[in-house]
Structure formats: C-alpha cells, structure tokens
Structure 1
Amino acid sequence: MEVKATAKTLRIQPRKARLVLDLIRGKDVEEAAAILKFLPNKGGYLVGKVLHSAVANAVNNNDLDESKLYVKACWVDEGITLKRFMPRAKGSASAIHKRTSHITVVVAEKE
C-alpha cells in the first residue's frame, strides 16, 4: 500500500526542489526527516512539510506502521509562473519569472 501527499504552488523553483528530493528518495522516513531537518535551504523545510503530511496520511487514514515506512517516490512538477517586470535603462523593462512547484511525496510500507 502506498500513500501520497502533494503540496501545490509552493514558491520554490522546481530545479532547486529536485536537488532536495534526490537526497531522500528511497530512504526510511526517519532518516529522510533527519536529512531535511538539517538542510540549510528553503527546499528542506518545504519538502519536510510534505513528507510529514504523507506520513500522517499513511498512519491516520490507512493504519500503516510509521516505523516501517520509507519514501517510495518523490517528484516535482512545475506550477504556475508569476510574471513580473523590472524597469531597465532607457524606459525599457525586463521580465522576471517567479516559478512555483507542485511537490509530491509517496511513502510505502516495507515488507
């Protein structure tokens, strides 16, 4: 049985979030939470929230044992892009793209 949690429209670039997810893919939930807790960047905090939600879904909704859970899969999809403009020289403007992410974490129970 696998259980997932998704957080949508998080204000982090997908490329930066993928670096964090590569660190926890396939690890036990306790080990993954410890890794995310001590990461110095914003991605560690956001992915930690999604992981905690996936574990809570597994324990409360599906009656799985928390000590046997591991991160089966995790991925990032690109969300909407907020488009902003910054004034430049001679009356022109340049575009600024503020990217967002949809982060999904799937946990499963080891046999």
Structure 2
Amino acid sequence: GLADALGYFSLQPVQVAKGLMIPSLVVTVLGLVVAALGVRCWQEEPHYLLAGISGTILFASGLMSLIPVAWYNHYLSALPAPAANAQEVGYSLVLGYLGSCLELIGGFSLALSLHQSCKECRRTK
C-alpha cells in the first residue's frame, strides 16, 4: 500500500522477477502433482517414467525461480530502494537462492529415475 515514489516496481529486473516467480510456482505445483502420481506412496511399484518427468518439471521450475533471483541480486546495488529495506531484501534473496537450489537438487534427483525407466523398457523388449 506504499506509494512507489522511486519507480522501483517499474524497473526491468523487478518486472522480470515478478513475471517469472508466479509461473515458477505454478510449474512447481504441476511437478509435485506428477511426482505424487509417480513415486511409490500408495502403490506396489513406482512409475519411474512419471517420477522422472516430474523431476524434469521441478528442475525447470527451479531454474525459473533461480534466474530472477540471481538477476535481481546482480542489479541490486543499482536499484533505487531505501536503505531501511536492505535487511528484508537480503533475507528474501537468501530464501530465494535456498529454495531454488533445493528445487534444482530435488528435481535432478527425481529425474535420475528416468534411467530406471529406460532399464525397464529394455527388459520388456
């Protein structure tokens, strides 16, 4: 509800960060739904192909959130913002990096199940 006297929200890094974070969250939810169908929660055997696809989706979502965080961090010193908000921005960047990197690691580890899916395809032939 504060007025944007410095034109902070109209700058390109801020607009890109806002524009990529919402689709990243939507893609994350999609990846989690696919992962819930693919991993072994209520089934005898996991669906390795679905788990691998969900890992790929989650990895892409992690990239979609890491790119705006890194770009925003790169331009942070040039953005016109009051010094009083520097600590909150620092916390947001740390959480953004941490969440993105954890999502990349989790997506990569789920994507490794594509290898098991390929093994199963070769066994059935």
- Check whether TM > 0.5: no
Q: TM-score, normalised by structure 2?
A: 0.26
What TM-score do the two structures reach when normalised by structure 1? 0.28
- Structure with more relative contact order (C-alpha pairs < 8 Å, separation 6 or more): 1
Instruction: Give the helix-richer structure, 1 or 2.
Output: 2
More strand by share: 1
Considering only CA atoms, is the larger Rg found in Structure 1 or Structure 2?
A: 2
